């Protein structure tokens, strides 16, 4: 799964986005961090649910096809199918998608983004003006988290605009351009409330951060 995040942007796109981050931060005392995760969670319950349900249905179908009414025949098929399907589910997260609710995805991305915000030290900038743009690829979700000083002045509608720009890039298959545009817009928002000041330093790296699968 990590390869998914590493290959999400081509090298030219990464350089473009990182250049836009650097340019945006020249206009503001805020700090912009872009983070890409292959997924925010591994959803083990969905894997067990899917493997169990499909194994039951498969066992019933095969038993009916061969005209076998033996419970032991069904149980043997069930166990065999469950072992195979569960192993496939462990290896390929996409197989779990039909058994994951949209609400669960939203909640897991939210939790992972908040955790990443604090673990990465974005909350420790001098003026509490750090902002995280968090992309979770498996869920196709984006979360924008800003530190306290920014949230006191910027409303949720403006962060939703950033999310909409990036998710639009997912659908248009132009994630690099959309992400660059989103960074530009973040720069505009931050510059309006937190213009660059004399002696301002770059507290956080401008590089795109690739993180591993969520908890």
pLDDT at 76 over 90: yes
The answer to whether residue 204 is domain-embedded is yes
Give the pLDDT band (50/70/90) at residue 200: confident
Distance (Å, whole) CA 164 – CA 158:
10
Per-residue pLDDT reduced to its tens digit, 122-151: 999 988 999 999 999 999 999 999 999 999
Tally the domains of the chain: 2
Q: How far is CA 6 from the centre of its chain?
A: 13
The answer to whether residue 163 is domain-embedded is yes
Asked whether residue 175 falls in the same domain as residue 71, the answer is: no
Q: Find the domain containing 31 and state its range.
A: 2-41+101-210
Asked whether residue 28 falls in the same domain as residue 80, the answer is: no
Distance (Å, whole) CA 100 – CA 107:
11
Asked whether residue 76 falls in the same domain as residue 12, the answer is: no
pTM tops 0.75? yes
Task: Check residue 96 and report its DSSP letter.
Answer: G
């Amino acid at each position: 799964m990590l390869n998914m995040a590493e290959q999400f942007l081509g090298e030219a796109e990464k350089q473009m986005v990182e250049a836009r981050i650097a340019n945006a931060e020249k206009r503001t005392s805020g700090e912009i961090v872009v983070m890409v995760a292959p997924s925010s969670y591994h959803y083990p319950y969905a894997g067990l649910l899917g493997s169990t349900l499909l194994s039951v249905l498969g066992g019933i179908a095969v038993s009916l096809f061969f005209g076998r009414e033996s419970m032991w025949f069904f149980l043997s098929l069930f166990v065999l199918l469950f072992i195979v399907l569960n192993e496939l589910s462990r290896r390929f997260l996409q197989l779990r998608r039909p058994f994951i609710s949209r609400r669960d995805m939203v909640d897991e991305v939210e939790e992972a983004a908040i955790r990443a915000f604090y673990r990465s030290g974005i909350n420790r900038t001098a003026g509490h003006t750090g902002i995280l743009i968090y992309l979770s690829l498996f869920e196709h979700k984006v979360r924008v988290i800003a530190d306290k000083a920014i949230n006191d002045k910027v409303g949720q509608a403006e962060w939703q605009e950033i999310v909409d720009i990036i998710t639009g890039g997912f659908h248009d298959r132009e994630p690099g351009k959309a992400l660059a545009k989103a960074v530009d817009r973040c720069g505009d928002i931050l510059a309006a409330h937190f213009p660059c000041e004399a002696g301002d330093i770059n507290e956080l790296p401008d590089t795109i951060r690739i993180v591993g699968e969520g908890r």
